Structures are given as C-alpha cells and as structure tokens.
C-alpha cells in the first residue's frame, strides 16, 4: 500500500486512509464541475488564464505577510504529483535531502530523475524519553554544499506537524547559502492550525519574492475533497514559473480541473469555508486523540486533519475485516510495523471507528 485511497480491490465502508476535509465539498464546486461538461467539445485554455488569476487573487487575500502574487507566479497542474515531477525535471538535482518519515511521492520523483536521496531521520526523544518526530534546527546542518534540492511537507505527512516560521526562515537561508532548491509541499496547509507547539507557522509562499529557488506546491484536492478531479498548482518566482511551464504537457489541466479550480480559489479567498473546516478538524482531532489514547494507543501530536498513531494491535488488518481502511505506515522510511495514519472525519464516522477499535480491544482481553 503506497498511498491511501487504494479501495478498488477491497470492500470498504469507511476510508480513513485518505486525508480529506471532513466537511463536504461546497455545492458551488460540484456545480462548476457539472457545468464544465458543456465545454468538453473545446480544448482547455492552454494558458490557464482564469485559473491562475483566481488562485493569485485568493492568495493575496490569504497571505500572512501581505505578499503580492500575480498570475505569472502560478503554474497549474494535474494534481500536485505532476508538478513535483516537473520541478525535479527542471532542477535536475544530483543530491536531494528529505526528512523521514515523509510522503512516498517525494522519493518517487527523485528516483525518476536519477537523484541520490539523503535522508534525515526526525525521530528523537522528548523530555519524558518518548519518541517524537519533530523537524529541528539540526536539520539545517544536513543541507551541505553538494545538496541540490530539499523537499519538505508543511505540514509533514504522515506526522501532521507544521514548520515554525523561525525554522522555515533558517532553512530558506541555508538553502540560499548552499545554492539548493527548496520545495515545500503545502497541500494540507489550509487544513492546519497555525501553532505547532514549536512556534507560529506561516506559509512558505510568503517568501517567494525573497528566495529565488523556492517552490511551493499546493492543491485543492484535500481542502475541497476532490482527489478525482486533480487540481494542483505551484507558486514560485515568475522566472521559475516560465521555465516550469515549458516542461509540462500542453493542456495539462482539463476543463473540469480549470472550472473546479477557479471556483475553489474563489471560495478559499472569499468565504468562511476554510475557517469552519478548521473548527471541525480541531474538535474532531481532539476527540479522536483522546479516545485512542484512552485505549492505550500512542497518539503523536498533529496540527492538521490526520494523526499518526502506534499500536501493539494489528489495527490495519483487524479494521479491514470490518470494512474500515486506515493507512498502514510500516512502509514509510523511518517508521516500522505498528504505525498507522488515521484521517480526521465527521463525528459519526469517528465514533464508528472508536467503537470498532474498542471491540477489538475487548475481544483481545477475553
């Protein structure tokens, strides 16, 4: 199981393996997708004019630093995965640095580009002697003269932890000093609180005008629960954006993706949808974390819409028998058997998950 959402060979009633917004996709986005069907006899706009203008406008309003974004700073794509591959193709790194555990897709694109991957293990002990997975200032020392690219998740997947502003700044400065490109995956950023216990976190997109070799990758997939539509985008300097477009297929966004993406941008910039989603996520994450901890399961701190847990029980197989799918994380580098990632869903679904796990625990005790 390389990714969540691998449901097609299983009988699944509840899928906790994909990290989507527990709040339903707004009807306006669904309507935009339906209306796009009337345009299937036309090619999509090869320049993505409407989409890029909508994203730029929304990002200006959302910026924590009043950063000015232009459509020329935006490159749309068939999901974040296509764009990560294109960035690697553009930079052609010989040696890249990844913190582990991290999303498998990063290694996938680096291997495809023939790049050597250097891994930095985030695991360390807290003051109580318990293992935690936190990116620390020590990470900057791993960015060396021969590092061509660094890829980070903000927040990280599967740990769910954001990067504090101070640490992010230090990493950016170190990358600039060493001539390394920094790619920051922020596909879950809008679904995350901004305080991570290590300091206040801000989006890396606020710094694209200060750091020439910075690429911020985002998507509307998670926030609007539309992974089947594939709507991703990169925010970077105008120069980088121009170079990146030349490495992507022509018409790489369908009319469905363009229409849905423009509407998602509009809602993100103007409505209360994101804030209301964060309230639900915060409440339900606290509920799930407390319930799972009460069952003797180790729950790691998270800032976003999923949590990393560790259990002596074989939760993946036992829950699969009940039609519930969670993400087995034993194939993440830096993790081992017994680690699982669980998405935050609506309260009824979360209650069903807890009830199922309680049943497993009770049966084990008998």
pLDDT at 1 > cutoff 60: no
Instruction: Please state, rounded to an integer, the average pLDDT across all residues of the chain.
Output: 93
Residue that finishes a domain, picked among 236, 270, 304: 270
Same domain, 321 and 201: no
End position of a domain, from candidates 216, 241, 270: 270
Predicted confidence (pLDDT) at residue 129 exceeds the cutoff of 80: no
Q: Specify whether 322 is located in the same domain as 355.
A: yes
Helices (H), the chain: 27-36, 49-62, 79-91, 104-112, 165-178, 238-245, 255-270, 273-294, 315-320, 347-365
Establish if 1 belongs to a structural domain: no
243-257 mean pLDDT:
97
> Does 253 share its domain with 308?
no
For the residues 63-78, what does the mean pLDDT come to?
93
Token pair for 106: 């990063």
Query: What distance in Å separates the CA atoms of residue 339 and residue 333, rounded to the nearest whole number?
Result: 11
The reply to whether 337 and 282 lie within a common domain is: yes
Q: What average pLDDT does the segment 257-268 reach?
A: 97
The answer on 222 and 141 residing in a single domain is yes
Among 215, 143, 136, 234, CA closest to 180: 143
pLDDT at 362: 73
291 and 217 fall within a common domain? no
Q: Report pLDDT for 11.
A: 85
DSSP assignment letter at 136:
-
**Tokens at residue 130, please?**
């318990």
- Count of the separate structural domains present in the chain: 2
Token digits for 61?
A: 């309003």
Tokens 């291997």 map to which residue?
A: 111
Confidence of residue 324 (pLDDT cuts 50, 70, 90): very high
pLDDT band with cut points at 50, 70 and 90 for residue 232: very high
- Judgement on whether residues 199 and 232 belong to the same structural domain of the protein: yes
**pLDDT (0 to 100) of residue 65:** 81
Task: Tell me if 2 is assigned to some domain.
Answer: no
| pLDDT band per the 50, 70, 90 thresholds, residue 7 | low
Q: Are residues 88 and 225 in the same domain?
A: yes
232 and 327, same structural domain?
no
- Proportion of the chain in helix, strand, coil states, percent, rounded to 5: 40, 15, 40
| For residues 140-162, average pLDDT | 97
Put the strands of the sheet holding 74-77 in their side by side order.
Answer: 74-77, 232-235, 214-219, 181-185, 149-153, 95-100, 116-121
Tens digits of per-residue pLDDT, 275-322?
999 999 999 999 999 999 999 999 999 999 999 999 999 999 999 999
Q: What domain range includes position 19? A: 14-24+273-365
**CA–CA dist 339, 327 (Å, integer):** 9
User: Model confidence at 195, in pLDDT bands (50, 70, 90)?
Assistant: low
CATH number at residue 253: 3.40.640.10
User: Looking at the structure, do residues 153 and 265 belong to the same domain, yes or no?
Assistant: yes
Is the same domain home to 128 and 86? Answer: yes
Confidence of residue 144 (pLDDT cuts 50, 70, 90): very high
Element (H, E) at 299: strand 298-299
pLDDT reading at 351 higher than 70? yes
Last residue of a domain, one of 246, 270, 294: 270
User: Cβ(174)–Cβ(205) under 8 Å?
Assistant: no
């Amino acid at each position: 199981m390389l990714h969540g959402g691998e449901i097609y060979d299983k009988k699944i009633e509840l899928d906790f393996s994909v990290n989507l917004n527990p709040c339903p996709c707004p009807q306006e986005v669904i309507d935009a997708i339906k209306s796009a069907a009337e345009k299937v006899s036309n090619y999509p706009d090869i320049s993505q004019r409407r989409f890029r203008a909508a994203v730029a406008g929304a990002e200006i309003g959302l910026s924590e630093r009043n950063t000015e974004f232009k459509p020329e700073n935006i490159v749309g794509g068939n999901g974040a995965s296509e764009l990560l591959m294109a960035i690697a193709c553009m930079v052609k790194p010989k040696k890249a640095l990844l913190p582990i555990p991290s999303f498998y897709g990063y290694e996938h694109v680096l291997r495809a580009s023939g790049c050597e991957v250097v891994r930095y293990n985030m695991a360390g002990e807290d003051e109580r002697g318990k293992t935690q997975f936190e990116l620390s200032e020590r990470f900057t020392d791993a960015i060396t003269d021969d590092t061509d690219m660094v890829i980070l998740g903000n927040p990280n997947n599967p740990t769910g932890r954001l990067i504090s502003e101070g640490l992010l700044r230090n990493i950016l400065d170190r990358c600039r000093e060493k001539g390394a490109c920094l790619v920051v995956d922020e596909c879950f950023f809008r679904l995350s609180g901004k305080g991570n216990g290590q300091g206040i976190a801000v989006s890396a997109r606020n710094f694209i005008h200060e750091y020439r070799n910075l690429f911020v990758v985002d998507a509307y997939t998670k926030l609007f629960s539309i992974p089947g539509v594939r709507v991703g985008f990169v925010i970077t300097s105008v120069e980088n954006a121009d170079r990146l477009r030349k490495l992507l297929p022509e018409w790489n966004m369908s009319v469905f993706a363009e229409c849905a993406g423009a509407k998602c941008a509009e809602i993100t910039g103007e409505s209360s949808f994101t804030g209301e989603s964060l309230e639900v996520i915060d409440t339900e994450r606290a509920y799930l974390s407390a319930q799972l901890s009460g069952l003797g399961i180790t729950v790691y701190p998270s800032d976003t819409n999923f949590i990393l847990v560790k259990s002596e029980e074989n939760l993946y197989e036992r829950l699969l028998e009940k039609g519930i799918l969670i993400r087995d994380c034993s194939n993440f580098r830096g993790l081992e058997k017994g680690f699982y990632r669980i998405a935050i869903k609506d309260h009824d679904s979360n209650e069903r998950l807890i009830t199922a796990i309680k049943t497993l625990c009770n049966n084990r005790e008998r």
